[in-house]
A and B are shown apart, each in its own frame.
Chain A
């Protein structure tokens, strides 16, 4: 009796380990390598980074705790400005992707007979190397690039070439381009959920196309816009390549400063502080957006790319 009970209990707990589906706190064994990878490598990276933000040199065993690096951040206006500038560029990029992306999303969702093919066409550039993509924009925006060739040499609209490179605009364009799919896909998803007989109804009631869009369609895609905007904002705020290659020395963003601290500057502590504060801003943003509207980020998580 007693032995039987014990074996049953053992069987029960083994159930969750082996084929069973009821997971309480022992995960399926097959998850373990992946979990170790995420928890150990990602967790380890973030933990050591956080440690560096308030310990002088933990790598060589100096675990003295100091908040001097944080104090340095808050005492220097430069870094605050960079942080804010980065967020402003991210905001402009987000608005840019929304304005450029929404019409295409609308077209694909509502009109297209080849929806899946077009979706693939929109998503495919995500997989193209981002260095090459940024390089392409250099070819276009340069003083002797494509745009100036068209405006000055071909059409003769301008006498002198435009200075497009090494401006904030160039950075924003260089970010809107790779991030468009992240805005378009969630919007398409939300458009596809709309019952279009509602729009017919609104039109029957005398609304013009624009009115019907503004009163019926647009409000129902807010969740898609919010999801897309969150993705684009987060990804663009942490941009590294576009500011360096298209923005020049005057348009560095937060990621460039963080990177700088870990290469030539060799001030790991301060770099870690920047990284921690930047992460905190992003987390707060995520939480805030999550509180305001329940985001459906699922739709877009499976199309991530580089950035």
Chain B
């Protein structure tokens, strides 16, 4: 592995009695698209602001390319930030906004003008130099903010929920735009969002935060298929969480009794080293449950609701009073299933995630 561009160790920030960020450590690789994901108030913004220098850590260290960043005054840090509100300077033109960082670096005017044009091109807004930023649409303001942050060629670009004030359609387009720009410039992006779709679709790696603490770090695939905690399993994607106990262990797998469903899953992968008799939680994604009307399967239940999603159909199945969410891909099966119909469910134990209770 290469040297990380940013390494954060035991970072803590408290405001009086509230601990906004609690002992968080992580590393970001050069050129990576790294996201902080978590519910509102989990400390994403605070962590980002500490990297930018807008907030002083209570304790812990932030190192950039091996050097202590906390000793560097904020205006000298080689990181740029895109604010949630865009924070464009209303008293300056678009060109002056974008060129602001260069002006602070005392870049001569002629060169500045050239670079501003170049970066407005990059964000697909050529010729907007003399416009008033307050009269631009949300998406355009967003692009100006991006160009303004990128023009100083920072080693790291910090983005705090940059898409949250845009409408849905624009938001989806901007995801691709951001990825394109990141690929083009090869800058390290640290991206804050509470939207899991956004994080999963854009990130190389994600740090999941909960109540100020680091929950899990990994690629989107890892987070989705190998959640490390009940919170992670629940927060990312939809899942069924079944409570149960380990009946037997066998090397790296375990056999788990599911309490509510009165059935057992054999040879579930056991990365947490659960022992016989331990209470555990089993996370099974809806698409990892097979449904059939034939009499084969682990449990029997009644279909409660059928919801059609176009490319898939979701069923809520009542199994002995417990609700199980099942997803059926494509059009197959969906048509023939109805409310109150009896169905058999088969859990894919290879893809179930064993979690500590």
Contact = CB atoms under 8 A, between A and B. Distances in A.
Nearest to A21: B15
Interface stretch (A8-16, A53-61, A214-222, A276-284): A8-16
A11 B15 contact: no
A4 to B, nearest CB: 8
Contacts of A12: 58
Interface string A2-35: 0010001001101100000010000000000000
B16 A8 contact: no
B263 interface: no
Contacts of B58: 8, 11-12
Contact of B16 (A4, A14, A22): A22
A12 B56 CA distance: 8
Interface of A is mostly: helix
Interface residues of A, number: 7
A15 B16 contact: no
B295 interface: no
B348 to A, nearest CB: 49
A22 B18 CA distance: 12
Contact of B56 (A4, A11, A22): A11
A8 B16 CA distance: 14
A203 B88 CA distance: 52
Contacts, number: 10
Interface string B3-18: 0000000000001100
Contacts of A11: 56, 58
B59 interface: yes
A11 B357 CA distance: 39
Contacts of A14: 56
B15 A22 contact: yes
Contacts of A4: 59
Nearest to A11: B56
A11 B15 CA distance: 13
Interface string A211-248: 00000000000000000000000000000000000000
Interface of B is mostly: loop
Contacts of B59: 4, 8
A11 B70 CA distance: 11
B17 to A, nearest CB: 11
A223 to B, nearest CB: 34
Interface in A138-156: none
Contacts of B16: 22
Contacts of B56: 11, 14-15
Contacts of B15: 22
A12 B55 CA distance: 11
Interface string B198-238: 00000000000000000000000000000000000000000
A24 to B, nearest CB: 9
A35 to B, nearest CB: 23
Nearest to A20: B56
A14 B58 CA distance: 12
A22 B55 CA distance: 13
A292 to B, nearest CB: 35
Interface string B35-64: 000000000000000000000101100000
Interface string B287-306: 00000000000000000000
Contacts of A15: 56
A14 to B, nearest CB: 8
Nearest to B56: A11
A34 B16 CA distance: 27
A12 B58 CA distance: 7
A4 B58 CA distance: 11
A22 B59 CA distance: 18
Q: Which of B15, B16, B56, B58 has the most CB of A within 10 A?
A: B56
A163 B59 CA distance: 80
Contacts of A22: 15-16
Contacts of A8: 58-59
Interface in B319-350: none
A65 B13 CA distance: 55
Nearest to B61: A4
Nearest to B12: A8
Nearest to B54: A19
Nearest to A8: B59
B231 to A, nearest CB: 29
B62 to A, nearest CB: 13
A256 B351 CA distance: 91
A9 to B, nearest CB: 10
Nearest to A5: B59
A22 to B, nearest CB: 6
A302 B59 CA distance: 43
A14 B57 CA distance: 12
Interface in B89-129: none
B124 to A, nearest CB: 35
A4 B9 CA distance: 14
Nearest to B15: A22
- Going nearest first, the 8 A-B pairs with the smallest beta carbon separation are A11-B56, A8-B59, A15-B56, A22-B16, A8-B58, A22-B15, A12-B58, A4-B59
Interface of B: 15-16, 56, 58-59
Given A11-B56, A22-B15, A22-B16, 7 more contacts: A4-B59, A8-B58, A8-B59, A11-B58, A12-B58, A14-B56, A15-B56
7 contacts: A4-B59, A8-B58, A8-B59, A11-B56, A11-B58, A14-B56, A22-B16
